[in-house]
Structure 1
Amino acid sequence: MNFSKKGTVDKQKQIRSTSKKLVTKIGVSFFRTFLICLLVIAIVGSFAGYGILRGIIDSAPSIDSISVAPTGFSTTIYDQDGNELTKLVGSDANRIYAEIGQIPEHVQNAFIAIEDERFWKHNGIDVQGIVRVIFLGVSNGRFSQGASTLTQQLLKNQVFEGGNEDDFVEKFERKLQEQFLAIQLEEKLSKKQILEYYLNTINLGQNTLGVQAASNRYFDKDVSKLTISEAAVIAAITQNPAYNNPISYPENNSDRRIAILGNMKNQGYISQTEYDEAMEDNVYERIQTVNKELGESSVYSYFVDEMINQVVKDLQEKKGYTQAQANNAIYRGGLSIYTTQDSKLQNICDETLSNDDFYPDNSKWELNYQLSIEKKDGTTNNYSAGHIKNYVSKGNPNFSLLFADKKDADKYIEQFKASVIEDGDIITGENISFSIQPQISFVLMDQKNGQVKAIVGGRGEKKASRTLNRASSTVRQPGSTFKVISTFLPALDSAGMTLANVQDDAPYQYPNGTKVNNYYSGYKGLSTLRDAIVHSMNIVTVKTLEQVTPQIAYDYLLKLGFTTIVDSRTDESGRVLSDINLPMALGGLTDGITNLELTAAFAAIANNGAYIEPTFYTKIVDHDGKVLLENKPETRQVIKESTAWLLTSAMEDVVKRGTGTRLRLTNTSMPVAGKTGTTTNDNDSWFSGYTPYYTASIWSGYDNNGSLSNTSYTKDLWRTIMEKVNGDLKVKSFKMPNSVVSAKICTKSGKLAVDGVCDHAQGGSTVRTEYFAKGTAPKEKCDIHVKLSVCTESHKLATEYCPKSQVKDIVYLIKEETAKTADTPNLLPKGLEDSICNIHKSFIIDDHWGNDTDDDNNNDGTVTDPGDDGTIPDPSAGQTGNSNGNSNENSNGNSNDGNKKNNGLFNWFN
């Protein structure tokens, strides 16, 4: 700067100059204007800011319209004894509510120490905490810490859907509203109530909400049993449930747990000794042990799967729920469902049926495969295991999807993929899995009340919930097991037949000309319905259903609860399908039946003819402790009590001396009644039967309908299970009702046995004590056996002149046969009735046994009796022995064509 005199003068001139004054004046005016504008902006901004803040606050929901109480609770499933089986957990619903009094103070304090140390002092907003966060944020340049109180966090979770805003403005708005509501909430609720809600809503990882669910998941214990160390683990999860998961990231959780324990000590919640003990606890090893025991999966059992189906159905039908509402109630409603399952019996079934020692040595793995490919043009192609089979079968017709070793499938998968994947294609999904074959299903019911005690829907590890349940959703052909309920049940109950009725087991065809085959070779001839059940005789069964009529049988099946039988249906080719036909007698159905429904039908027989729909639960209690549903199924009498007992009696013989002898219980004398069943080519193996306590059915076969190498293991499994189930129960018999009587019958005629005749029949005695519903026992005597005295030398009718040492009484069967049967050797030889011994001193008798051409010259119309009493009655008197003249119509309405020679000769010898 120039401080000379001249410089000073120049400076003074410059200051006094008009231009300088103008510039200065403009500058001062501008600055003054700027200050005024700034003030105006500040004032306007303040009002605008206030307006914005006021608008944000005003747009917050009313404190009276919101609820911070937890919603969405897991449903708890109990067995018949009240033991917890599992929990049903929907989205954001794995929560078990615990009141504050159930939650130990050290658990409460663990959360307070790390999340909101001034919780008991602030009014919903922690101002000190906010200042601290701002200071640290300014100092570090990062605002990484939060100052939300527990009250604010509760509001964020319950009102603001977790606070996952997309941008800063939305987050800012939510924070302001959250703080505003927090102050009001603390005026409305007590601190303890707020803390209780908070501890029941927080996300604690592993799909758990609240401290009770977390305590169960990580430590397999009630929250009230948590230690200080364990409480710190759970509280450490809160900040970041995924990153601080003690199972997946124990190191991360441990760091935060240490900080929590330190805070608890510094804030006076725990002592130095308690801190030291907690720090020394090897808590994470314990967590891993529990996790291994509980497993990562929450797969429901087959029983729970089916129970859910029944509950959904009942909520819709009995409470008017929609399907969506029913599912929401089950998975988020916090229900308590009390099931009919007997855990002890279920364990017996599970352990036995999972034992590979029972199954054939050639068990194989069936490939299940899914592949999705996105083509270059954007389209998607989906493939399954069936595509692999079709592809490989072109060069290998015998190829199947069954493999002795899973690895054997790899090359076929790769070959198939190479055939369908082109350059530029993208595999969007591929799934390879295997199921062990043959498969199994089993149902165990208490026939007295219809309660299902155990159910197994498959063999091998169950990998997902509500998947294929072979016991309740798979339909299979029932084979001979169906004979009892499709044919013999209606025959006895309403068709006028009895167990003594006789059918001829001889060659027979369906109306369309198809031959009916027995499983055994040859034919047994005249057989009772009891024998048909005991020995599983196909021809006799079909003949019986023909008399019953398929329509009557079908109507009975509907009463017995079968829902998969077909009245009439047209297939894609226009062919009409129906189960109302004769093959139904042998279990030949359009679709098939389920194990569950078959078991329920047999349980009705075991329950004296009363059908009860199978049930899986007894009652449902809602989250508030009120009974939502009580399951009291209707009982309906579908057959007479006498019919039920008669069928039981016949099926007892199946096990005692028929096709089911392998099913006798070896560790007890408990009676068993039931029916075996095997379908064509041994595709299915069944047994459905019962003791006086339980009814059970077993099925085994290949999912793809392959042939079983043997079927005996199915019987062994059923017997093994039922020996354990019934082993400790008091032995009792199936009680015969007063409506049943007995009589001695001839098993070849179905009529009353004749002493000295039927019991001496060729081939062995045909006399048996049979049981009948009152009023149905036969009144007529057997008329198809004849006892003749035969000379063993001439093989003709003996005379009084034949030496007694050469005379033998023989009881023959009178029957016309269309083919050779087991009766053939016992038939009356042709012409024997017209032949008289001509070796010893003889007499003459005319061909009609009536005209007196004898050699005793008495002319009285009689001749010497070659039989027992020495006389022969007047043959003409014998002609009146049967009122129907020459036809023997059995009581079952089935005409024995071979028994038409019911003339005086046969009445005479009877």
Structure 2
Amino acid sequence: MNFSKKEAANKQRRLKSASAKLKTKALISLFRIFLVSIVLLAFVGVASGYGVIKGLIDDAPNIDAIDVAPTGFSTTIYDQDGNELIKLAGSQANRIYADIDKIPKNLQNAFIAIEDERFYKHNGIDVRGIFRAFFVGISSGDFSEGASTLTQQLLKNQVFEGGNETGFISRFERKVQEQYLAVQLENKLTKKQILEYYLNTINLGQNTLGVQAASLRYFNKDVSDITLSEAAVIAGITQSPVYLNPITHPKANAKRRSEILNNMLEQKLISQANYDKAVQDDEVYDRIQTVNKEQSDSSVYSYFVDELINQVINDLQTKKGYSYTQATNALYRGGLSIYTTQDSAIQKICDSVFQDPSYFPSNSKWELSYRLSILKKNGKTVNYSEGHVRNYFSQKHQTMPELFSQKGDVKPYIQEFKSSVVEDGDEITGEKVTMTIEPQASFVVMDQATGQVKAIIGGRGQKEGNLTLNRASTTTRQPGSTFKILSTYLPALDTGGMTLASVFDDSPFKYPNGRPVNNWNHSYNGLTTLRQAIYNSMNIVTVKTLEKVTPQVGFEYLSKLGFSTLVENEVDDNGKVFSDIGLPMALGGLTKGVTNLELTGAFASIANDGIYTTPTFYTKILDHNNKVLINNKPKTRQVMKESTSWLLTNAMEDVVKKGTGTRVRFQNISMPIAGKTGTTSDENDLWFSGFTPYYTATIWTGYDNNGSLTDTTYHKVIWRTIMEKVNAKLQTKSFKMPDSIVSAKICTKSGKLAIDGVCNEAQGGSTVRTEYFAKGTVPTEKCDVHIKLSICKESGKIANEYCPKSSVSDKVYLIKEKESGHTADTPYILPENLQDSTCNVHNSKNRGSSGEFITPPSKASPSPTPSTTPKEPTVPIVTTPPVVIPTPTQTPENEPTMGSDN
């Protein structure tokens, strides 16, 4: 460059020239315009941005209209002693609220340390956090680091449905509104309230919401007992409930846990000693796996809970006016507390016996239930069941067993069937193979005094799902001879004018349609009291008794006993009429059958002095605020006289002592038992329903497909085993006899007062017994079916006055009209050749060897004059007007002919 004096002067001249000045001015003007434009653009941008932000804020929810408190809580079910049984939780409802004071400080700080370290300092928005996240994103290209405060996260979860927007604009709009509301929320709630709500709303994996549910799910302990190490595990889940789940991704969670503990140490939220102890807890994930296995094994509801759910949903509708949807939501999302009637100790006894295969037939087999869904290559879905599998082999003329000896025996059949229906390009979208052990069984235990169900078993074998088939409460089966007590003998004693001493002739008998009624032992007992008919389970006497009572009256009693499956008059699609009001009802011949639960409830009314109480599964329901929603007071009604209930109980004690139920007698305790056996045609169903002074229980067993049982006694052993354990620690007491009961000695062949020296000396053995009666029903007439005669041994005819005493013996015969068939009475009926026939060997000319005369029998015998027909009770049978009974509509197959009741 030229720095001479001359050059400097030239330069000054150029700068002062007119053209130079104009050029300079132009440049300055352009620069000014540029600056003004920049300012204007900035102003417009800010104004526009403000307008956008203001518009988004104006569209934000009103802070006074939103509620960030958690909603949707799991329902807790307790047993009778207040022990938790299980939790019910619907979608987004597995939450158990915990007050902030019960949440350990370490757990609170763990979330703060990793999610919002300046929680107690900011006003809802963490500006420093926003800038930090921005610069981290600029430097790394990863903008995934969040800057949301706990307040914002609470709003996102409770107001903005979790913040699952798909587009940038939607996400931007939500962020703006979220930050705006966060500031307002901080002015509305305290930090303590915000943290409490947050810790009760966050998703912590495994369908748990909130720290209390998570604590129970992962560590099976109350949140107040969580350690620092465990707190870091739970807090570590928050960022990703799926990929930081400590059960499925323990390594990822462990890395996050370590980060949390480091943050807590750096932020001086824990001491070095506590940090070291927490870091060294290497077994925390082993504990989680142990708890997970235990909870997975108990995730299937019990049969008791299944039936409880049905009752609660029904009661919420009938007692509170809920719709079905409202009732279901309340149960699974309402945070209810349900206190059940279950006695866990009794339930455990039932479970242990039913899980022991030694109590069931050794030849138990397995029944197949199969479901297969295939998405064909043409887009059509085809579904198959076990019926298709059987049809496939039937068409191939191959035999597929109805039942399999081993569960694995079904595999070849399934594989071959699948190969036949699955083609190239097809996709199997679902397949389920279920093997059910057979024969099946059910069991119900009730406290007869309260109507509370204490335990229930709806089937044997592993329960594989919730709300599955419950053979105790939903399956209906023919009740067999157990029904005799309820349908016939109860009304006979209560209003039918009969007593346990009333006599019917057990001899050949037919239904109105001509089908014979048969006893289970295929024999006839002759003249029989109702007591004998009960403990020996005699069909013919039962049917004859109901004929006197009338089926209509029997049906009315059954209706009062809580049976909901009875058919009064139904017409099917083919016009066929069905009705249970007929003589087959006496033996349990019903259109639909009954459930174990309702049968147990009916027998419990006999054990409860004649008072029927609706079987209940819970005592009360509290809402989420611990206010009583339903106080479940069971309905009760007197369905029979107290005297009737005791008489039936006393007769059923004989069933156990000497009748068809001797196998249920306790072996190690002396507690009395009353009950009734039941066996249906072809041994399809086996029952025993009975009670002690404390509990009523019923067992049913049979094949689901109505197959015939070969072992017909094992169910009694099961009943005895369970009930002996249930009653083992209870004080022994008898069934209390009411003041309305009296006793008298009667003859079991006439049902009338016994004659001393006659009835007790009857052919075949004494027919005298002490019988019990309701006051006012004791017979007043003496026996009129026995006659005592002096028989001459030499002539075999009635002795006359000339027969020597040494040749004469007294015999008591039965007076009975000619029988239609041979019965147990036949050998002891007064022979025709003795009627009006006296000894023709001894007379005045031919005295006996002793040379003595005897008094003619007409003067010596106190017996009444023989008659040919036993007299039936003359008291009225029913007090209601006569009713026309329709012809029984049961088909012969539905009319039970009892199997062995021994």
| The two structures share one fold, judged by TM-score above 0.5 | yes
Farther off after superposition, 380-389 or 747-756 = 380-389
Map Cα deviations across residues 687-719 of structure 1 (whole Å, 9 max, x no partner). 100000000111111111111221211111110
Q: Post-superposition shift, 1:870?
A: 5.4
**Given the two structures, how large is their TM-score scaled by the length of structure 1?**
0.90
Map Cα deviations across residues 824-860 of structure 1 (whole Å, 9 max, x no partner). 111111121222222233699xxxxxxxxxxxxxxxx
Partner amino acid, structure 1, of 2:597: L
Q: Is the 8 A contact 1:865 1:871 kept in 2?
A: no
Q: Is 1:318 matched with 2:308?
A: no
Q: Post-superposition shift, 1:872?
A: 10
Q: Distance in 1 between matches of 2:89 and 2:608?
A: 37
Q: Post-superposition shift, 1:428?
A: 2.6
Q: Distance in 2 between matches of 1:872 and 1:181?
A: 108
Q: Is 1:757 matched with 2:762?
A: no
Pairs within 5 Å for 1:870-889:
888-889=871-872
Q: Post-superposition shift, 1:38?
A: 6.3
Map of 1:812 onto structure 2: 813
Q: Post-superposition shift, 1:389?
A: 2.8
- Are residues 222 and 552 of structure 1, via their aligned partners in 2, closer, same or farther at CA, if it must alter by over 3 Å? same
Q: Distance in 1 between matches of 2:870 and 2:465?
A: 66
Pairs within 5 Å for 1:77-156:
77-156=77-156
Q: Distance in 2 between matches of 1:633 and 1:29?
A: 97
Q: Which runs of 4+ in 1 moved over 6 A?
A: 23-38
Q: Distance in 2 between matches of 1:710 and 1:245?
A: 52
Map of 1:189 onto structure 2: 189
Partner amino acid, structure 2, of 1:72: G
Pairs within 5 Å for 1:376-455:
376-394=377-395, 399-422=400-423, 424-455=425-456
Identity %, equivalent residues: 66
Map of 2:678 onto structure 1: 677
Pairs within 5 Å for 1:215-234:
215-234=215-234
Q: Distance in 1 between matches of 2:304 and 2:427?
A: 40
Q: Distance in 2 between matches of 1:635 and 1:522?
A: 41
Map of 2:175 onto structure 1: 175
Q: Post-superposition shift, 1:380?
A: 3.1
- Are residues 279 and 563 of structure 1, via their aligned partners in 2, closer, same or farther at CA, if it must alter by over 3 Å? same
Map of 2:778 onto structure 1: 777
Q: Post-superposition shift, 1:215?
A: 0.9
Secondary structure in 1 matching 2:345: helix
Q: Distance in 1 between matches of 2:467 and 2:60?
A: 42
Map of 1:491 onto structure 2: 492
Task: Give structure 1 stretches of 5+ with no counterpart.
Answer: 1-22, 845-862, 895-910
Q: Is the 8 A contact 1:864 1:872 kept in 2?
A: no
Pairs within 5 Å for 1:450-599:
450-599=451-600
Map Cα deviations across residues 266-311 of structure 1 (whole Å, 9 max, x no partner). 1111111111111111211111122222226521111111111111
Q: Distance in 2 between matches of 1:82 and 1:376?
A: 55
Partner amino acid, structure 1, of 2:612: Y
Q: Is 1:867 matched with 2:857?
A: yes
Q: Is the 8 A contact 2:552 2:581 kept in 1?
A: yes
Farther off after superposition, 801-810 or 271-280 = 801-810
Q: Is the 8 A contact 1:528 1:750 kept in 2?
A: yes
Partner amino acid, structure 1, of 2:384: Y
Partner amino acid, structure 2, of 1:446: D
Q: Distance in 1 between matches of 2:381 and 2:596?
A: 38
Map of 1:851 onto structure 2: none
Q: Post-superposition shift, 1:415?
A: 3.3
Map of 2:51 onto structure 1: 51
Q: Distance in 1 between matches of 2:518 and 2:510?
A: 9
Pairs within 5 Å for 1:289-300:
289-295=290-296, 298-300=299-301
Q: Distance in 1 between matches of 2:586 and 2:248?
A: 59
Secondary structure in 1 matching 2:510: coil
Q: Post-superposition shift, 1:385?
A: 1.6
Map of 1:626 onto structure 2: 627
Q: Post-superposition shift, 1:757?
A: 0.7
Partner amino acid, structure 1, of 2:873: N
Task: Give structure 2 stretches of 5+ with no counterpart.
Answer: 1-22, 847-852, 878-902
Partner amino acid, structure 2, of 1:410: K
Map of 1:357 onto structure 2: 358
Q: Distance in 2 between matches of 1:763 and 1:869?
A: 25
Q: Is the 8 A contact 1:864 1:871 kept in 2?
A: no
Q: Distance in 1 between matches of 2:861 and 2:148?
A: 120
- Are residues 506 and 392 of structure 1, via their aligned partners in 2, closer, same or farther at CA, if it must alter by over 3 Å? farther
Q: Is the 8 A contact 2:701 2:715 kept in 1?
A: yes
Map of 2:823 onto structure 1: 821
Map Cα deviations across residues 591-635 of structure 1 (whole Å, 9 max, x no partner). 110010000000000001000101111111111121111011121
Map of 1:211 onto structure 2: 211
Q: Post-superposition shift, 1:29?
A: 11
Secondary structure in 2 matching 1:539: helix
Farther off after superposition, 643-652 or 676-685 = 676-685
Partner amino acid, structure 2, of 1:838: N
Q: CA RMSD in A?
A: 2.5
Q: Is the 8 A contact 1:579 1:590 kept in 2?
A: yes
- Are residues 805 and 68 of structure 1, via their aligned partners in 2, closer, same or farther at CA, if it must alter by over 3 Å? same
Q: Is 1:890 matched with 2:873?
A: yes
Q: Distance in 2 between matches of 1:136 and 1:209?
A: 31
- Are residues 539 and 390 of structure 1, via their aligned partners in 2, closer, same or farther at CA, if it must alter by over 3 Å? farther
Q: Is the 8 A contact 2:799 2:838 kept in 1?
A: yes
Q: Post-superposition shift, 1:381?
A: 2.9
Q: Distance in 1 between matches of 2:560 and 2:111?
A: 61
Partner amino acid, structure 2, of 1:867: P
Q: Is the 8 A contact 2:445 2:454 kept in 1?
A: yes
Q: Is the 8 A contact 1:787 1:812 kept in 2?
A: yes
Farther off after superposition, 298-307 or 473-482 = 298-307
Q: Is the 8 A contact 1:797 1:866 kept in 2?
A: no
Q: Distance in 2 between matches of 1:488 and 1:836?
A: 44
Map of 1:899 onto structure 2: none
Secondary structure in 2 matching 1:369: strand
Map Cα deviations across residues 229-273 of structure 1 (whole Å, 9 max, x no partner). 111111111111111111111111100001111111111111111
- Per chain length, whose mean CA-contact separation is higher, i.e. which structure has more relative contact order (CA < 8 Å, sep 6+)? 2
Q: Distance in 2 between matches of 1:247 and 1:433?
A: 28
Pairs within 5 Å for 1:618-697:
618-697=619-698
Q: Distance in 2 between matches of 1:263 and 1:325?
A: 45
**Given the two structures, how large is their TM-score scaled by the length of structure 2?**
0.90
Q: Is the 8 A contact 2:445 2:696 kept in 1?
A: yes
Map of 1:9 onto structure 2: none
- Are residues 886 and 160 of structure 1, via their aligned partners in 2, closer, same or farther at CA, if it must alter by over 3 Å? closer
Secondary structure in 2 matching 1:479: coil
Q: Post-superposition shift, 1:31?
A: 9.7
Map of 2:370 onto structure 1: 369
Map of 1:16 onto structure 2: none
Secondary structure in 1 matching 2:554: helix
Map Cα deviations across residues 12-71 of structure 1 (whole Å, 9 max, x no partner). xxxxxxxxxxx9999999999888776655443332222111111111101101111111
Secondary structure in 2 matching 1:326: helix
Pairs within 5 Å for 1:848-863:
none
Secondary structure in 2 matching 1:810: strand
Secondary structure in 2 matching 1:798: coil
Q: Post-superposition shift, 1:869?
A: 5.1
Q: Distance in 1 between matches of 2:402 and 2:33?
A: 90
- Are residues 886 and 711 of structure 1, via their aligned partners in 2, closer, same or farther at CA, if it must alter by over 3 Å? closer
Secondary structure in 2 matching 1:242: coil
Pick from 841, 846, 852: which aligns with 1:839? Answer: 841
Q: Distance in 2 between matches of 1:209 and 1:870?
A: 96
Q: Post-superposition shift, 1:426?
A: 3.7
Map Cα deviations across residues 772-799 of structure 1 (whole Å, 9 max, x no partner). 1111111111111111111122211112
Partner amino acid, structure 1, of 2:857: G
Partner amino acid, structure 2, of 1:613: T
Partner amino acid, structure 2, of 1:438: P
Q: Distance in 1 between matches of 2:860 and 2:495?
A: 48
Map Cα deviations across residues 400-422 of structure 1 (whole Å, 9 max, x no partner). 43111122112222333344445
Map Cα deviations across residues 305-359 of structure 1 (whole Å, 9 max, x no partner). 1111111111111111111111111111111111111111111111111111101
